[in-house]
Amino acid sequence: MSAAKRKKLLAGNWKMNMRLAEIEPFFTAFAAGLDAASRQQVDVLFAAPFTQIQATLAACRARGFAVAAQNVHFEASGAFTGEVSAVMLTDLGVRSTLIGHSERRQYFAETDESVAKKTVTAIKNAMTPVVCVGELLEERKSGSTFEVVGHQVEAVLTAVKNQGPLKDREAFYPGDLTDGLVIAYEPVWAIGTGLSATTEQAQEVHAFIRKVAGEILGNDFAGKLRILYGGSANPGNIAGLLAQPDIDGGLVGGASLKPGDFAAMCITPSA
């Protein structure tokens, strides 16, 4: 499974940050920090809070960056106060969403089951789900990382397989930001802590995720699947991570709020 065919994807996760007035200045600075070669060689995606999506889309469209939501509901409409559906997002022109971020799992009771349902819904609506998985510190320490991550990946990909969208939709295959599936491996102990996984720790889990994906959805799928690393990724460690054969990009929180830092991270892969 050659990494050469997989285009790198750098995704910024703004979380509950970025006021409306900050968006245009952010992109002016971010775009100024990128070079022409990187723009061609790297896909760039910004996961914005719901209320900031339209302004983010307006800033990104002309500049060629993609926009994602940070969450989506699995039903199209109904009595779900406070939720936003995939059709509402696609009405706006949003073609991607994060699903199952560890903060959603930890603070908003997301489960493997809800993550699976949301992922299937996103795919059915021609959105690219960026599905987040990762182990807690206790799980890493007790040696159950592979079991935990394997279970999370299996739950979501088995649901995708059982729904049959792969059979119905040739274009489902990953590799195209407008129509695919991305997995983000984010060890929970590394998120926002400044304590990134080492390149070796990340690579071995990424390779494992690709193996599990291959067992469930076949090696053609797994070979094209983009697997991002997240958890204290920054301009200083991104190059080493992206040099690993199974690390296809980054899901970046804190550093994605700093336009200069995030631009530097998007340049690294093509350097």
Instruction: Give the number of residues in contact with ligand PGA, rule: CB under 6 A.
Output: 13
Euclidean distance between CA atoms 264 and 269, whole angstroms: 10
- Pair of tokens at residue 174: 């990953």
For ligand PGA, what does the binding mask look like between residues 11 and 50, x meaning CB under 6 A? --x-------------------------------------
* Residue 196 and residue 190 in contact, taking contact as beta carbons nearer than 8 Å: yes
CA 49 to chain centre: 15
The answer to whether 252 contacts ligand PGA (rule: CB under 6 A) is: yes
Q: Which stretch binds ligand PGA (CB under 6 A): 67-75, 122-130, 185-193, 213-221?
A: 185-193
How far is residue 48 from each of residues 21, 69, 149, 218, measured CA to CA in Å? 14, 6, 26, 32
The answer to whether 251 contacts ligand PGA (rule: CB under 6 A) is: yes
How do strand 42-47 and strand 66-68 relate by DSSP bridges?
parallel
Of all residues in the shown chain, the one whose CB is closest to ligand PGA is 253
Nearer to ligand PGA, 223 or 269 (CB): 269
Q: Is 110 annotated in the active site?
A: no
Please tell me which residue in 101, 110, 139, 206 is annotated as part of the active site.
Answer: 101
The answer to whether 187 contacts ligand PGA (rule: CB under 6 A) is: no
Q: Is 73 annotated in the active site?
A: no
The answer to whether 110 contacts ligand PGA (rule: CB under 6 A) is: no
How far is residue 235 from each of residues 124, 140, 185, 254, measured CA to CA in Å? 35, 25, 18, 11
The answer to whether 186 contacts ligand PGA (rule: CB under 6 A) is: yes
The answer to whether 155 contacts ligand PGA (rule: CB under 6 A) is: no
- Give CA angle at 255 (227, 149), nearest 5°: 30
Nearer to ligand PGA, 103 or 139 (CB): 103
The answer to whether 231 contacts ligand PGA (rule: CB under 6 A) is: yes
| H helix intervals, the chain | 20-32, 36-41, 53-61, 86-92, 102-107, 112-124, 137-141, 145-163, 165-168, 199-217, 219-224, 238-242, 259-267
The answer to whether 260 contacts ligand PGA (rule: CB under 6 A) is: no
For ligand PGA, what does the binding mask look like between residues 63 and 102, x meaning CB under 6 A? ----------------------------------------
Cite the active site residues.
101, 186
